[in-house]
Structure 1
Amino acid sequence: MSVDNYKKRDEQKKAQKKRKKGRVKFLFKLIGSLFLISIISLIVIAAIFEKQIAGMVINTLNKQLKTDLQVSEASLSLIWKFPQAAVYLNDAKIDGVGGQEEKLLDVKSISLQCGTLGLLMGDYNFTSISINEGSLFIYSDEKGHVNYDIFKSSAEKTETDESTDLNLSISDATLSNITIHYVDKAAAYDIKVRASSADFAGDFIIDNEINANQHTMTSYAELFSEHITIGETTYMKGTNLAYNGSVDLDLAAEIYSFDNIKLYIEGNQFNMHGSVKKVDKGTEYNLLFDSKKALLGSLMQLIPEQYAATLGQFESYGKLSFNARVNGISSKRIAPIVEVQFGLKDGRITHPNMAGSMKNVNFDVHFTNGNGIDDQTAKLKLIGFQANLNNQPINLSWEMVGLENPTITMGLDGKIPLDAVYGFFGNTVTEGSGWIEIAQLSLNGRLKDMTSMYRIPRVKLNGLVNFNQAHLLVNNVPTNIETGELSLDNNAFNVTNLTFKTAKSDMVFNGDFQNILPVLLSDSLNSQNAKLTFQASLNSQKMDLDELLAIGGGHTAEEIEAAAVEDQDSLKQENFERRAYRTSFLKGTFITNIVELQYGNVLAKNFNGAVEFDKSVMQLKGVKVDAMDGLFELNSKIYFEKEPRLELFLDCNNIDIQEFLAQLDNFGQDVLTAEHLRGRLKSLIKVNLFLDSLGNFKNEDLFVVADVEITNGELINLKMLEGFSSFIKMRDLQHIAFTKLKNQFKIEHGKFILPAMFIQSNALNLVVGGQYSFNHDLDFKIKINAGQVIANKFKRYNPDKTAIKARQQGLFNIYARIMGNLYGDYDYKIGPKHSKKFLDAQLSQELPAITNTLRAEFAKNNNIEASQPTIQPLAQPKEWEDIPEYNGEEGDLEYIDGF
């Protein structure tokens, strides 16, 4: 073949390829054009028929409903579900019947789907439905009236209801993010689950007359259980659930048959098969459950909420078998028989609060609800529990007969290592070591008897508990129980040489306690008024009450300081509330012998006396203690309430007054403080002190009444005396020494009330009366021996501060008044018209009134062991009285305006 022929052939082939390529390109253009035309056509058709078809759907539904379907917008799409057409009902709401406030259905969208071709040909047969984003509320009241009876019966449909070509024969339904809340008041059910995704395939004809047939529904759902509450018990709170399988439905006979339904609880698979059917006497159940892959944690999701927080976190590794059956009729009088069995062989159990794991675990659990009629025939048994925890053996048996008021029989032996289990004691415990040894602990009795103060003697509780170098770190405070034995003899609980030590405290307890079970099993409100009654002794070489309160107080000072400012107050309040709750259980007496005691700034030695607890009140009776370089006899009541308060009776003998005020924080006032006063105190003092819920002093509520005698005393830098510096040496006023100060006073309503005070000092002899508010407002009246003032005004400063001898004879007595605000504007006036009548009234009326108040307050101290103090009325010394020749009219008396 010649070269020209080859060229012609190549040109022919190229021409063929070009023509073929052109035809393909044309075909693509044609298809694209048709597709574009189709889409445009579908859009146009949808726009033309949208109102008609969407309106027809809404009207058809509303004709069959007793309540109205409400939507914000209805639209038709022939594209998004192609080849299906879809009607979208946005913001759809349906009210239930019965007047419930919550809507039966409230969702973001409902879409109904049918064939596009059929729709175009006028065949409106909707076969699929999708419901998205919203809630379904199903309710039944105490009388069985329901909110979902919203479809009209055939008799209820009126003749005016026109027939339409629209047919709702739903065979496929989808739920997406729908919360289903089911409440049945009569059966005491409250179930709330969220369906993140659920698909149902079957026949869902709305017309029940058509729907009375036999068919199969296939379903798959992924659910989240917010709660399943039956009666007062909540199950599966916050639990992930799922199921997959088919149900044979015979709606006419009301028979539902399950074949190999797979249930998933927290990822663990269970198989279910059987049937549920309606019978004359009620509902008959015949269901079987089994699993070969279940874990203990998934089974624990089935237990009540109050136990799930702890027990629900146990996980098992090993051969865990499970099977259960539900068989029988359910009605108002009878329940079906429920039997559950599961067990673990040579397994291992873990828990987030447990360090390490229990190994070589063997046990069987059997449960039955009995005959289904009487709940006292129900039985739960834990058989042959054996395990090793940190190489220490534990043996446990448990049987519970009855549900509402079960009879419990338990046996326990073992050596519990605290380094493994301290996590179960709460988040305040962060470390543990040592052992608790339990020997032959046995329990038998009814639960209601165990929680009742009156029926607890019917319960049998025996055994021994020993502590062996037990250590716990509680609120960052190291606590140790080095030795000690607890002996249980029914309701008696004997403590022998329980040695408790911390960094700053040591204690040895001995005594007899009762009602340990009612206290341990009490509810959060202590509704049974459980009391731990006791008679015990407490011996200690040193005790720091702040440290001990930190152990049981909840939140430590460091934790509160580290918290956000807006949270600190609530943490402090929680501490007070927790302290009040715990002390509410205590009723008894400790006979104490404490060598060294510290509480806040108070330091004491040889604390001996009785400490009683009752109703969240700690009472100290006849306590004698060495403190502040003197001797106290102390009787007090401390009320552990949300806002704590203190009632204190003090008999002080030879106390260092400076230490007294400093250690007691000046009783929360700053008028006369430890910086101002020196001397030795002999006093009777009654104090009512109040704190708010944050531990701050409530100054306005503080009440103090006192009979005070201070010897060899000194007043230092008392600001209110500076007003006399114009006629008394300032150096003397800044440091007044006195031989004896005898006084009675009270603090009330935020005021320091001083009827009269007699001072024999190095500067002058005087009588002072008046009041001083905690906001520093003052009003004092003063009587001064003028002769001594004049005589000493020109003397040199007395560095030894020897008191001036009191004498009646002299020139005359003068009167003065100081008033105003100590740190603002204040003034003084000289002359009897400002002070004499006031002081006379104080001496004749207010002083006796204070004396009577003291006697009345100390009469309230009902401690029969304490000696009743003798309270003498306070009178003006003879040397302080006005001399007779100057008892004329006030206008005849001489005034001094200063020097």
Structure 2
Amino acid sequence: MKRWQRITLWSAGAVVALLLVLWLGLTFYIRQHKAALLKQITEKFNDRITGALEIRDIHPSLFRSFPNISLSLEGVTLRDSLWQQHRHTLLEAKNIFVKINTLALLKRKTDIRQITLSDASIYLFTDSSGYSNTRVFRSSRQKSRRSGRTDMARFQLENVRLIIDNRQKHKHFQIAFPALKGITQPTDSGWTGKMEWHARIQDFSFNVQKGSYLKNKALRGSLTLQYNRVLRRLQLERQRITIDRQPLLLSAVFDFARQPVAFTLHIDAPGLPIPAAAAMLPPNISRHLDSLSFQKPLDVQADIRGRMQYPDTPLVRVRWKTTDNTLSAYGIALQQCSFEGFFYNEVTPGYGHNDPNSEISLQHFRAVCWNIPLRADTLNIRNLKHPRLSSHLYSDFPLSALNDPGSGSPFRFDGGHARMDLRYSGGLEAKDTVPPQINGSINIEKGALSYLPRNMTLKDFSALLDFRGQDLFLRQIKLQSNKSTLQMDGTVRNLTSLYFNAPEKLVLDWNIRSPLVDLNEFRSFLQPRRHTAGTRKGRNNSTNRIVSQLNVVMEACNVNMQLQVDRLTYRQFTAGNVRAGIALTGSGVRLQQIALSHAGGTMLVSGNVQPQGKGNRFDLNARLQGVHVDQLFRAFENFGLKSLTGDNLRGTLSATAKIRGGLSDQAGIVPHSLYGTVAFDLRNGALLHFAPLENIGTFVFRKRNLSEVTFDELKNTFELKGNKIIIPSMRIASSALNMDVGGVYGLPTGTDISIDVPLRNPQKDELALSDNEDNGKRKRRRGKGIVVHLRATDGEDGKVKIGLSSAKRSVNYPATNSN
């Protein structure tokens, strides 16, 4: 080894040895003068406070900071002068390690270069009157001006809990620091600090009534702080931190020159999932995000400005942006969603930072909902306490996009196109008590649809749905079925307020005009309504709820129709110039007034049709005037009669009927279901080839023409009782014979009719009478002479048989049950 190397090693060793001896000597000195040193440190701190500092023990830490001296302070407690009243200790530490400058200690001065708190609690308490235990440091500001400035270069926290409890301003902050390391460097205007830290926010409430930000969140980061003593401002430049491993960029300014202290936070969070964002916010804000779900994260920026005072709630402004995302909001799924969003909690300046003065705004909104492309320039949700949505929506789409087999929709669209331009203002949920307002229109062209509950198909369908506030106006509607053509317009009042809350109170007023209506195409409305229940494969719960409610509305709402039909057909019935008022209610169909031309005469009908089981019950009041009876019977399928049909009748009929009965689900009259009365007046009538009358010729009047019996007028009132027709006693004067008839006509059995037939020939009596004889004399002469007593009853083959009766008898009508 060369000589200069040996000298260098010896010199270095001597320096190290000297330092070691010096360090050991100082350590020995500290141990020997522990009480004095503890007193010196305590006096140094007590000189700056107005309370009580207690240190249970002090001893040097030999190897912690060689060559400097580290002192370990154990059982350190700092309390203000009013601790006995509030019982909140400002500082309570198991260990405080203090690094002291060795050279300064040799000069009998204490220069603290680093301080480390371990297993400590810092509790900054302010009571409701405004008193704070931090007043323990009040005198330090005055004395520091006299004694100069002391800079602490390094600081460190190990398992330290910080609590700020301000009960006057209802603020509460509680932060646990498992680890924190920092270093400060003095500058001309203040100091610069750097720290690496790991913290857990247990509570961060600017207003305890609103809840905590960052509740139970773990924070990590390396931050650089700058403090300006002149401006009294602490500033954090844009730096990266993580919150529960979610990276954020944070910048902040705390202005201590303003009283109360003002702060500004700016957060930039690219790629932030909505659940993670919601978890950082207090409940009064995050609960509004519970119904929002994005498939992809958002790019979010937030500004928070406020003051450390009560009842101040910071001003919050949040901006976010997303492209081609999937949004689920309030149960509605929006695909291909792109927009820019904003949140403000002060819409109107000066009205506070609160829910009623808050707004969520979406701009340049584009999405696809239920296969329908939607556009909106702006979509706003205001007043988050009672949310109100306002938007202007546009769309242009094929009607087939509305089809979804799993949703349970009552409609299936097979063609057509729709254009939508709607402005909406209202609540977000069905239970909202404020009815929404909708203004705008939906225009449908060349549509083709099937109404599934009634198995009805319509083609060449066009309509204009005009929304005005709570009302819906249905304009320019044209429907074409196989044979029927309808032109319609209608109104639904209070649609938006009653759709979910009281659909049974909805009333649809229809005006319907048509050159031809074939009611056979609408017979399905007399059948039980088929339900189109949704399945789990439907779009989503909200869609199923809306569609399910549409089914409820279609079934429960009331419909008032005014019809003007040039020609109407139904089975064998044909009518012209039809004018009708019909009401469809939840309990059935009410025929308010139907006037029409039929069979050469007119008809007026009113009544009700009510669903009952698989069929329908009806009550009808009808008045006929001048109707050809043969056409009437054929049109109504002979009213269920077998022996008497339209082929057996001729004449002009006027009648009044009050009938109740049953209709099958195929709209046919249920056999034996008719009850009521029919009062008729048949003029210029004829009975043609009526088998029971022709059978009389087998007994008498073989030379008379009983196959075509004419009569001038026939009146009576029949009573219908299910399977029987009660025929009150009546006299029939005809061309072939006169007779008195009365009894029961059974359907199909139970016939028992008495027929008294004078043998006098009516034609001869008519020729013998002079024109000036009155009708009374004609009637008296008609009944003179021999009278044959006949009886019509059921035969063994089920047909009516007429035979001789032993004597003139009074007909005892059998009792029948009426329904």
- Relative to the length of structure 1, the TM-score reads 0.45
Structure (1/2) with the larger helix percentage: 1
Larger Rg computed on CA atoms: 2
